[in-house]
A and B are shown apart, each in its own frame.
Chain A
């Protein structure tokens, strides 16, 4: 049965310059899982919002959208409010009320459903999603992952037939993101709800999809099952969306032999068949050579939030050398972000020594630490912007200096060019996409000319292309002699771009080394390429190395 049928649909915004939609034709059958992908600004959000009458942007439409055979815009609002669920990006702002139970009931209250009915449905849904343990909590006390799960559950309570999700996991850390997406899959498999989802990161959802829709410039370019889509992208767009595919699909794409694998398990057996009788050699590990100069030197640091509390940092020692990109990996709540806040003087440590550029941390007074020494890229980049254009925001960094106007403009422009955001300078900072905003924030802190950059989850919410862009920018900075310390969950990014990786666990660094050594020695905490190939070939870490290996086996 056709859940959604879109015929010759087009849309033009009444105001603004966002991408319009044209010649959209597709059908979604009941119970299907559809992944919509495309570069940022391709119109996926506009399309998704057009499928939910309450959220349709201002503008004119052409053609038609049918929902179970009826025109979607002439259906009664009560019907579309309940039967089409829409989950947005921002976990916080979607929550309306102060208590978990109230938030769950909110939608049904709006439809005027009687209390006893709400009571039993709330109970059912809370059980289904495992919310019953925090049912009576305040919404403000929840973690990001819990908040987004609550948003999902409170929409599922209205028993939608179609669930639309617009980049739902982009503001969650990878572990919470995976849990969330697994829940979406569970809904699809167990309740038969039709799903239409966009994601910045296809790694997880691609394998769940029945069909993948590729959009470009406001129209649909291809609408294919994932295996065929991988084949298409590998041949037609090797430098575009292909890079966003999960590792197994990319390794397949590099040789296009056999059936396209979508999961690691499928990938392993596909790789075994590819290797067959050949005996590929494992690349050898080279000894790590680190630069001498220590930009950040932490030795035996202890930190507790309060007296008698569990230490978050226990005897932490490590160093970051000049010109290196160092990554700190580790689970949620392990204390990685606390470590950053101790290094950036936000919190005072109890014992031990921290030296920044050879000078002890406690000797830096006031904001001296941030004057040409250290800069921090915060997790929420919008907290850096004040003005109505990005240009003014960047120029503002020099407000207290004696530079002339021309010099300031010159510096802003050259940094913006380096970050490839020069064409965005006259936009409002809040109108930028996640990746663009992250780059703009990085530009702003680079104007302060720091020697050491601290980055907290720099790839959060970024698509594959933005990540590659960010990675190249970091490499360029490192080659200019800047030093980078980042805290991240993004194993693939870390493997590809860092010089030195560290695993943070139980308050200190448990293991460290070059990415190659680090990830080939780990068996769980490692990249997809390594997990796919390690049973036959050692020391393959990044997807690119995997692709190269596959090609050499042809």
Chain B
């Protein structure tokens, strides 16, 4: 693996067209949330953690796990404590039955939540704001421009707040010291200056937009992304696996009965195909990444 520190925003699945990665994550996250089934949940969770290690780096994954594991335990335990459905009673806690079904259901749904969280961390690294804007720009061009403008405005305002607070402090009006009343007053001043400054800037931004012909014509939407052959191939594969997943859901092979009693599923040939394709979908980013890493090694 390459450097641990850097997020892999320029390698592996990130190098594919935004639509490919977006549909990919739509497929895995949909699968994770729809299939309440131990096999699918275990596959999804394992693949999510594995992919996150590849995409986000081991350090970030450890941080995610540090938050995810307690969440997992909490949800897994909360369900049997508050949900008393199920036929097999394990024991009584404060006169309430704790059932095997509720316990297993808790573990499965906790795994589902955990998996979804981890997949979202991968999504965040891969589908950056400009890719998101690109995708929604096709559907809602004006909204996409507003998002882009907002994203440029936020850091600017943050920088301005700092400048204002610093210069106010140097004339003795520090919102970090003095009585509460003084501090509130100083804070309000910073805000008030920020607002007038922002309004002043907004007039200029509007001029700058008009000067470059905004609002006179139907806009076109430019992007730096190109859809190539490798994108087409990968999109085909993702769509195929997504299709199988949808089939599994519709045919009911992706869900399991928990209450009143767990019925272990009868696994047939079709199920095995579904499982394999689901595993393949889950480890797709890892495969892409490993293939790329191997190539780099060969080149060395």
Contact = CB atoms under 8 A, between A and B. Distances in A.
Interface stretch (B17-25, B31-39, B191-199): B191-199
A109 to B, nearest CB: 5
Contact of B171 (A111, A341, A444): A444
A110 B213 contact: yes
Contact of B220 (A101, A115, A385, A448): A115
Contact of B213 (A81, A341, A366, A448): A81
A377 to B, nearest CB: 8
Contact of A366 (B178, B201, B216, B223): B178
A111 B217 contact: yes
B148 interface: yes
Interface string B141-183: 0000100110110011001100110111111111001100000
Contact of A344 (B155, B170, B196, B211): B170
A440 to B, nearest CB: 13
Contacts, number: 169
A99 B130 contact: yes
A371 interface: yes
Contacts of B212: 81, 106-107, 110, 154-155, 158
B124 interface: no
B58 to A, nearest CB: 22
Secondary structure at chain B's binding surface: helix, strand, loop or mixed? helix
Contacts of B168: 383-384
A98 B156 CA distance: 10
A112 B218 CA distance: 6
Given A77-B216, A93-B204, A111-B217, A378 B148 contact: no
A445 interface: yes
Contact of A378 (B149, B170, B218): B170
A52 B152 contact: no
Contacts of A4: none
B238 to A, nearest CB: 24
B247 interface: no
A88 interface: yes
B129 interface: yes
B140 interface: no
A107 B173 CA distance: 43
Interface size range on A against B: 35 or more
Contacts of A341: 166
Given A93-B201, A93-B205, A81 B211 contact: yes
A376 B152 contact: no
Contacts of A375: 170-171
B166 A113 contact: no
Contacts of B160: 383
Interface in A90-136: 90, 92-99, 101-102, 105-115, 118-119, 122, 136
Contacts of A88: 204, 207-208
B152 A82 contact: no
A351 interface: no
A107 B210 CA distance: 9
Nearest to A90: B204
B167 A380 contact: yes
Contact of B172 (A119, A380, A448): A448
B222 interface: yes
Contact of A110 (B202, B205, B219): B219
Contact of A140 (B152, B169, B223): B152
Interface in A295-353: 341, 344, 346
Given A78-B216, A95-B152, A109-B222, A367 B169 contact: yes
Contact of A430 (B196, B202, B211): B196
B149, B160, B197, B208 pick with most chain A CB within 10 angstroms: B208
B269 to A, nearest CB: 47
A82, A106, A119, A344 pick with most chain B CB within 10 angstroms: A106
B232 interface: no
Interface residues of B, number: 52
A73 interface: no
Contacts of B170: 344, 370, 375-376, 378, 445
Interface string A402-440: 000000000000000000000000000010000000000
A122 B160 CA distance: 30
B196 A108 contact: no
A227 interface: no
A397 B189 CA distance: 13
Nearest to B154: A140
Contact of A383 (B130, B167, B221): B167
Given A81-B212, A96-B152, A110-B219, A366 B174 contact: yes
B198 to A, nearest CB: 9
Nearest to B210: A54
B222 A102 contact: yes
Contacts of B74: none
Contacts of B163: 378-380, 383
Given A101-B224, A119-B222, A94 B148 contact: no
A386 interface: yes
B209 interface: yes
Interface string A378-396: 1110111110000000000
Contacts of A85: 211
A139 interface: yes
A164 to B, nearest CB: 9
Given A98-B152, A380-B167, A448-B171, A385 B216 contact: no
B200 interface: yes
Given A88-B208, A115-B222, A366-B177, A110 B214 contact: yes
10 contacts: A98-B148, A110-B216, A122-B222, A155-B211, A366-B174, A370-B170, A370-B171, A383-B160, A384-B168, A444-B171
Enumerate the 7 nearest inter-chain pairs by beta-carbon distance, A residue then B residue, closest first.
Answer: A81-B213, A140-B155, A378-B167, A93-B204, A376-B170, A107-B212, A98-B151
Interface of A: 52, 54-55, 77-78, 81-82, 85-86, 88, 90, 92-99, 101-102, 105-115, 118-119, 122, 136, 138-140, 151, 154-155, 158, 341, 344, 346, 366-367, 370-371, 375-376, 378-380, 382-386, 397, 430, 444-445, 448
